[in-house]
Amino acid sequence: MTNDPKSPTAPHDLATALAASLKAIDDDYTEEMRELRALFEEARTEAGKDEPDGQKLKALLSDANEMARTFATLDPAWQAVQRVARLFGIL
């Protein structure tokens, strides 16, 4: 692996980054993010292999990207719904 910023990330670096993402999800969003966590866990396992399948990693990370975008878009609305529900004693 070179220090060229355009070179692809080493699978070990990817596995480390995914492990950090899993910890962040566990710390912040245990239930809400379980599907995203499952994708990250599968991608981390694949990236940690001696010969990871690049196509599989690309597909897993693409799915995780779309899921994270959806969650980021909807989370503020969900938080507002929860606040209103608490205000009326529903939660």
17-38 pLDDT tens trace: 888 877 877 776 656 677 888 8
The whole-angstrom separation of Cα 21 and Cα 88 is 35
pLDDT-derived band at 3 (thresholds 50, 70, 90) equals very low
pLDDT at 8: 55
Q: Which of 31, 3, 37 is nearest to 18 (CA)?
A: 37
| Contact yes or no for 44/59 (Cβ under 8 A) | no
Write the DSSP symbol of residue 48: T
pLDDT at 58: 94
Cut 0.85: pTM above it: no
pLDDT tens digits, one per residue of 48-68: 999 999 999 999 999 988 988
Angle at 87 between CA 85 and CA 90, to 5 degrees: 40
Domain boundaries, the chain: 11-87
